[in-house]
Structure 1
């Protein structure tokens, strides 16, 4: 390993993935491995230390980038619904023994940084990204920079709602409950299939019940996203995460619902699959590791 490499960590609700990349080519990832998500701070610190010792035996990387499936302010994980042991934790302090600068951020925001730097949003100044996995992460590129808000939590569209009667939940937004991976799993099992992946394949095969279920998900996504498009007027909506390769069946109902809820001058909105798919978080973490503290600003 050369001194000009970075370590990228993608911490999700169910797994931790790791890769390293040259600092000047974050998309050239070399995967190290994937493990179940850590269950404590000690386990996380041990995993990172072991990764550094095994992959960077002779020299340390120039930086570490880590994505978090929740609200991150600086290097502090303020609120992480699927990994509550991280709430309020300064990751820089936890990983300080590594002796390497840390860039930490929301997983969707880092995914959008990846797509803006070297993916599907290259050349765009205004874009919206939805990372659909266990939950729904989201981020907005506006005027060439990631919108972060007062506390780093801007543009959390997984919490958008198109149901005025919904009672709400403390750790899961309405749109997540309607359209994230667990919703696809639930809908798939409801028609006798194993999970969401099987539901997508059945829809591709033209099975009516599967198409209806996918249409339900797409309608929820498109209806909720219409408000975001009306507010932000992005050039494109990017879909990242594990569902990004299902736009052939999911895209049409999303666009139909979007266009039904938008004025004519906004109906040309484009729906794109992110270039990096499930790897977007890792690529974004590699970009952030190279940029450092202000990873969310576009490199000029």
Structure 2
């Protein structure tokens, strides 16, 4: 029985799991560790886990752009920039993808978007990641960075930024934390909890980032016409508070026939990218073609 080593590699943490290639959705956690500080540490950790668990396939989610088996731009792990994983792990079949794309792969294969041909995933955590399923294929783009929703902009006067898109600066987890503290709450979670309890100050503070999300999402929905928009990352836990506010802003910028697109939390929560890595490892480099 062929085994898959699945890895969700973030800027600060490496999470790993193991599954049978025939059952990626049943990936079982092996453990979580601080992200390696360099390429040698990464190579040693993966080779050791693959050997110890008898894995022949390797699926990995990275917080940046990738194409084929090569990492292109990994802002928080620059030692991976330009690295071809096939050269590092010649004995493993490799499925490599951007974290939001693999989260969507999990949702399309066995979660909230199963059976759909067109869907969008927006993952809001420290930053904003996104991915799109169009015509039963996950869009990757020429540089592996298709549909980078965090770089959407609805401000004609914004001067831009090299590392953070406009929408990330308005409505990422970092932005929610800053807005929460400015409004007198502990952080973004405290802000959302207060809004959930009906606190008027918290509700007012959430209005601007919710509007930024809604207006930007309207552009994406108008371009892509998805059957559903899936929320992932920390924002999914606040869907009950944010979705009505986001939808109100979104619908103002859409024609009637596009206003009722579903917006829902994903099925896999924080494990979405790990499950997606398991599916990518099982399917290999053509993981973007949904079967």
Q: TM-score, normalised by structure 1?
A: 0.92
Q: Indicate whether 1:62 and 2:59 are aligned.
A: no
Counterpart of 2:242 (choices 221, 246, 250) is 250
Pairwise mapping of residues 9-88 of structure 1 onto structure 2 (< 5 A)?
A: 9-54=7-52, 56=53, 60-88=54-82
- Which range moved further: 288-297 or 24-33? 24-33
The answer to whether the 8 Å contact 1:19/1:30 transfers is yes
Gaps of 5+ in 2: none
Q: Tell me how many residue pairs correspond in the alignment.
A: 291
- Asked if 1:232 corresponds to 2:224, the answer is yes
Q: Using the alignment, how far apart are the partners of 1:95 and 1:172 within structure 2?
A: 32
- How far off its partner does 1:52 sit? 2.9
User: Runs ≥4 in structure 1, deviation > 3 angstroms?
Assistant: none
Q: 2:215: which partner in 1?
A: 223
Change in 2 beyond 3 A, CA 1:14/1:195: farther
User: Which range is displaced more, 36-45 or 109-118?
Assistant: 36-45
TM-score by length of 2: 0.95
Moved more, 129-138 or 81-90: 81-90
Residue range with higher mean Cα deviation, 184-193 or 239-248: 184-193
> How far, CA to CA, are the matches of 1:227 and 1:189 in structure 2?
30
2:86 aligned partner: 92
Matches within 5 A, 1:1-300: 3-54=1-52, 56=53, 60-96=54-90, 99-299=91-291
Q: What's the offset of the Cα at 1:53?
A: 4.3
Alpha-carbon spacing, 1:43–1:153, altered in 2? closer, same or farther (3 Å): same
